[in-house]
Amino acid sequence: MTSLFPMFLKLQGKRCLVVGAGKVGEAKIVGLLETGAHIRVVAPVATATVREWAHQGRIELELRAFSPVDLDGAFLVVVATSSRAVNERIYEEAQRRGVLSNVVDVPELCDFFYPAVVRRGDLQIAVSTAGQSPSLAQKIRQQLEQQFGPGYSEWVAELGETRRLILASDLDRERKLDLLHSLAAREAAQAAIAETHSGELAAIGENK
């Protein structure tokens, strides 16, 4: 298998199709909800949570079987049905149309994979095994969650604001680069970690 190209996609306004609305489909929809994508879900049945999202207007839901026209205008499709034959048919149709596809738990029928993600505000750390071992990716994610605690969320936001101020300043280019690099130095990272640990210790003390 050739190497994957890691990237973060902007999906705002893009048409994303999800076929299947059981527990697996529901989990895949979660990853799309905050992206600003136009999410369309097609499935004969749907979980109560998926139906509630549709009621809230967060997704578009059609309770019926998949039709090839569902791929019209789609940027990507996530396929989460229990039928291998249906999954393969959707994948083949998507390939014919040039639509990026992810057939859940079938790596050979995927153009992209859902990584295990650590989210700390605007900081996202994604781990992927190219579908070979999602369990390993989850274990690594859990380790990273311990290493990069909640304190990073506020710190990254502060870095962004300071970066904008530096770039808008009249300092010369080299000085700007020096300052930007110093902001992300080990000492600053350790301060964020210390803040996280302090918060955790305080929480433990409150719970005693």
For tokens 């791929």, name the residue: 71
Q: Which residue has the tokens 């300092």?
A: 171
Q: Are residues 31 and 98 in the same domain?
A: yes
8 A C-beta contact, residue 77 and residue 19: yes
Greater model confidence, 42 or 196: 42
* Domain CATH code at residue 97: 3.40.50.720
**pLDDT value at residue 2:** 73
In this structure, are 129 and 108 located in the same domain? no
If one counts the domains in the chain, the total is 3
In a domain, 5, yes or no: no
Q: Does residue 101 sit in the same domain as residue 30?
A: yes
- Over the stretch 44-98, which tens digit does the pLDDT of each residue have? 999 999 999 999 999 999 999 999 999 999 999 999 999 999 999 999 999 999 9
The mean pLDDT value of the chain amounts to 88
Write down the number of H helices and E strands in the chain. Answer: 7, 7
How far the first Cα of the chain sits from its last, in Å, is 52
Q: Report d(CA 37, CA 12) in Å as an integer.
A: 4
Q: What is the mean pLDDT of residues 34-46?
A: 97
Answer whether residue 1 is part of any domain. no
Are 124 and 63 members of one domain? no
Per-residue confidence (pLDDT) for residue 206, from 0 to 100: 47
Range of the domain at 39: 15-113
Residue 26 resides in a domain = yes
pLDDT tier at 207, thresholds 50, 70, 90: very low
Q: Does some domain include residue 88?
A: yes
Q: What is the mean pLDDT of residues 127-153?
A: 89
Answer yes or no: do 49 and 123 share one domain: no
